[in-house]
């Protein structure tokens, strides 16, 4: 590959800064396509080994053989950020990709969700993930591949079950119930206590808090902290997976905004970059329209929404309507839920040809009535709760049995029983006491799954 694009990096960076983008420095590295593919599969340049990545690898390999997907870049936020560019990119593609990467860098530095998660994880997730991988390699040498794999089976199966509203380094629950007096100290309580001294003295006794005190959605943390018979290296693996999930969450929850923002900026910077030769500019514009096109060339209709296209179109209309200042404020404050619900207007949806469809289990797919609120939810549906059902830890029984509950009222239906059973089997290997999971069956009545 030609390295001519490197001479443009600095100029594009200066142009971006002049246009109001604020970003951490980014290290650019050109890597072979095979490595690009692995970064995309693992989500991080160096990550722990697990056979499930091998499955994704084969799917990717097949897709690539069939020419379905092509990766131009992968970027990791941080200070400095890391951007990996495919060696097979041409000059024009790399100019475009450089601008795109700076859009991401601006986004990840200024978006609140990203900032919060980066404060938690630190700005060096790439290095952290590599050190997790190294640690796990050492565990394999000490404890054997089988045991480590069993732990990873369980931890990675629960990777979406974190609670980003909690701290990454989270304290254990307080062991005793808080004294009720300290909770509410109003006149009524004082008078009540004065009336009946006996009641007051009884409440002086400290009560052990139940574990968990409330249904706990942060399953990785909960298991790592409260599993009755886990070894410390096993707990560390759970916490390592949790840390990586904390990093993945904002990427997942702002995908439409983030990709749209980067696409908006690569298009705009390219327009303003008068130093780019004419031919490269044309090539880059063509590449841009390939990236943000809504539908594959040979198709009339697509049953999914291209986040690049949707985000790009939304940012364009926001900037046009409210100006760049407002757009930057939205970029800083929203995630995809707020972004789509507030800014995907009926007019824009019509213009983009977005529609809702229903798919029956027999394969019939039908386009539904226009309804922009329902359309928002159809776009966002796969993103609720990190894309996972709401399962929380409810109780630990005296014999160490873990009770999990699935909140079907939130999810609207019960769990896939076969898969859930397998997850319980994974988890049982590290919890080492029985596990009970309640969900609902097809008819909506309660159902209990157990392992073993």
Partner 1 sequence: MEGDQGRRGESAPGGADKWYELFSRGARDWLRHDEKVREAVRANLPEIIAGGEVINDSARTVRVPVRMLEHYHFRLRRPEESQGAGQGNAKPGDVLSDPARERGPGEKGAGGRDEGEVQLLLEFKVDDIVDWLWEEMQLPNLKARVGPSEETEWTREGWDRRGARSRLDRRRSFKEMVKRRGAPGATPTFTDEDLRFRQLARRRQPAVHAVVFFMLDVSGSMSDRDRKLAKTFFFWVVQGLRRQYRSMETLFVAHTTEAWEFNEPDFFQVTGTGGTVASTGLLKVREIIDARFNPARSNIYLFYASDGDNSVSDAAEARAALASVAADTCFTGYVEVSSGLSRQLATETGKLFAELSGAGCAAGSYALNDFDDVWGAVRHFFTAESNAPDGPGGGPRTDSP
| Contacts of partner 1 in 313-372 (CB under 8 A) | 352-370
Are 83 and 73 contacting, i.e. CB atoms less than 8 angstroms apart?
Answer: yes
Question: Two tokens at 28?
Answer: 């650019």
Positions in 252-291 near partner 1 (CB under 8 A): none
Size of the site for partner 1 (CB under 8 A): 89
Of the pair 64, 115, the CB lying nearest partner 1 is at 64
- Please report how close the Cβ of residue 80 comes to partner 1 at its closest, in angstroms: 12
- Please report how close the Cβ of residue 110 comes to partner 1 at its closest, in angstroms: 27
> For residues 390 and 388, what is the distance between their CA atoms, to the nearest angstrom?
6
Judged by CB under 8 A, the stretch of 94-102, 154-162, 207-215, 322-330 that binds partner 1 is 154-162
Positions in 198-257 near partner 1 (CB under 8 A): none
Of the pair 55, 324, the CB lying nearest partner 1 is at 55
Of these, 78, 294, 307, 311, which contacts partner 1 (CB under 8 A)? 294
- Please report how close the Cβ of residue 279 comes to partner 1 at its closest, in angstroms: 23
Positions in 24-83 near partner 1 (CB under 8 A): 27-32, 34-35, 37-38, 41-42, 47, 49-55, 57-62
Are 12 and 47 contacting, i.e. CB atoms less than 8 angstroms apart?
Answer: no
- Please report how close the Cβ of residue 240 comes to partner 1 at its closest, in angstroms: 17
- Please report how close the Cβ of residue 138 comes to partner 1 at its closest, in angstroms: 17
Place of tokens 């300290």: 182
> For residues 67 and 449, what is the distance between their CA atoms, to the nearest angstrom?
42
Of the pair 212, 414, the CB lying nearest partner 1 is at 414
Q: How is residue 170 annotated by DSSP?
A: P
Are 320 and 327 contacting, i.e. CB atoms less than 8 angstroms apart?
Answer: no
> For residues 311 and 353, what is the distance between their CA atoms, to the nearest angstrom?
14
Are 139 and 93 contacting, i.e. CB atoms less than 8 angstroms apart?
Answer: no
> For residues 77 and 107, what is the distance between their CA atoms, to the nearest angstrom?
9
> For residues 12 and 342, what is the distance between their CA atoms, to the nearest angstrom?
32
Place of tokens 């790592």: 224
- Please report how close the Cβ of residue 2 comes to partner 1 at its closest, in angstroms: 9
> For residues 283 and 174, what is the distance between their CA atoms, to the nearest angstrom?
61
What contacts 11, CB < 8 A, 6 or more positions away?
Answer: 273, 275
Of the pair 322, 416, the CB lying nearest partner 1 is at 416
- Please report how close the Cβ of residue 233 comes to partner 1 at its closest, in angstroms: 20
Of the pair 277, 353, the CB lying nearest partner 1 is at 353
Of the pair 268, 376, the CB lying nearest partner 1 is at 376
146 binds partner 1 (CB under 8 A): no
Give the rounded distance of the alpha carbon of 215 from its chain centre: 22
Of the pair 38, 334, the CB lying nearest partner 1 is at 38
Of the pair 190, 413, the CB lying nearest partner 1 is at 413
Positions in 389-428 near partner 1 (CB under 8 A): 389, 391, 406, 411-417, 419-420, 422-423, 426
- Please report how close the Cβ of residue 361 comes to partner 1 at its closest, in angstroms: 5
- Please report how close the Cβ of residue 445 comes to partner 1 at its closest, in angstroms: 14
Of the pair 187, 442, the CB lying nearest partner 1 is at 442
Judged by CB under 8 A, the stretch of 14-22, 202-210, 275-283, 306-314 that binds partner 1 is 306-314
Are 218 and 249 contacting, i.e. CB atoms less than 8 angstroms apart?
Answer: no
Of these, 161, 235, 242, 343, which contacts partner 1 (CB under 8 A)? 161
> For residues 42 and 32, what is the distance between their CA atoms, to the nearest angstrom?
16
What contacts 61, CB < 8 A, 6 or more positions away?
Answer: 37
- Please report how close the Cβ of residue 35 comes to partner 1 at its closest, in angstroms: 4
Positions in 433-452 near partner 1 (CB under 8 A): 442
Q: What angle do CA 424, 425, 427 make, to 5 degrees?
A: 60
Of these, 139, 160, 317, 438, which contacts partner 1 (CB under 8 A)? 160
174 burial level (CB within 10 Å; 0-12, 13-18, 19+)? exposed
380 burial level (CB within 10 Å; 0-12, 13-18, 19+)? middle
Of the pair 242, 309, the CB lying nearest partner 1 is at 309
- Please report how close the Cβ of residue 421 comes to partner 1 at its closest, in angstroms: 8
Omega prior to 212 cis, within 30 of 0: yes
């Amino acid at each position: 590959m030609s390295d001519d694009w490197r001479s443009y990096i600095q100029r594009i960076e200066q142009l971006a800064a002049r246009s109001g983008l604020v970003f951490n420095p980014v290290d650019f590295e050109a890597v072979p396509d095979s490595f690009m593919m692995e970064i995309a599969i693992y989500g991080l340049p160096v990550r722990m080994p697990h056979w499930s990545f091998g499955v994704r690898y084969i799917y990717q390999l097949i897709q690539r053989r069939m020419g379905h997907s092509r990766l131009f870049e992968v970027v990791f936020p941080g200070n400095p950020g890391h951007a990996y560019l495919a060696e097979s990119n041409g000059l024009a593609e790399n100019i475009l990709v450089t601008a795109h990467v700076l859009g991401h860098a601006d986004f990840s530095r200024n978006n609140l969700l990203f900032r919060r998660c980066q404060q938690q994880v630190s700005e060096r997730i790439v290095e952290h993930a590599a050190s997790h991988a190294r640690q796990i390699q050492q565990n394999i040498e000490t404890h054997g591949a089988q045991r480590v794999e069993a732990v990873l089976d369980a931890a990675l199966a629960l990777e979406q079950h974190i609670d980003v509203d909690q701290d990454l380094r989270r304290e254990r629950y307080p062991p005793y119930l808080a004294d009720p007096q300290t909770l509410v100290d109003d006149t009524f309580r004082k008078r009540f206590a004065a009336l009946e001294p006996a009641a007051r003295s009884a409440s002086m006794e400290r009560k052990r808090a139940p574990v968990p005190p409330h249904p706990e959605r942060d399953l990785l943390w909960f298991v790592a902290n409260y599993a009755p018979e886990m070894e410390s290296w096993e707990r560390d693996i759970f916490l390592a997976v949790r840390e990586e999930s904390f990093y993945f969450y904002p990427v997942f929850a702002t995908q439409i905004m983030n990709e749209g923002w980067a696409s908006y900026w690569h298009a705009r910077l390219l327009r303003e970059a008068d130093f780019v030769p004419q031919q490269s500019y044309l090539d880059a514009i063509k590449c841009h329209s390939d990236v943000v096109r809504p539908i594959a060339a040979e198709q009339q209709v697509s049953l999914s929404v291209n986040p690049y296209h949707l985000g790009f179109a939304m940012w364009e209309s926001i900037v046009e309507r409210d100006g760049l200042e407002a757009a930057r404020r939205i970029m800083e404050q929203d995630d995809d839920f707020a972004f789509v619900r507030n800014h995907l207007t009926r007019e824009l949806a019509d213009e983009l040809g977005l529609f809702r469809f229903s798919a029956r289990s027999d394969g019939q797919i039908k386009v539904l009535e226009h309804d922009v609120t329902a359309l928002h939810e159809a776009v966002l549906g796969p993103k609720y709760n990190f894309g996972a059902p709401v399962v929380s830890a409810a109780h630990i029984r005296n014999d160490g049995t873990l009770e999990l509950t699935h909140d079907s009222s939130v999810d609207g239906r019960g769990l896939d029983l076969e898969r859930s059973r397998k997850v319980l089997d994974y988890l049982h290997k590290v919890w080492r006491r029985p596990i009970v999971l309640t969900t609902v069956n097809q008819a909506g009545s309660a159902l209990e799954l157990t392992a073993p």
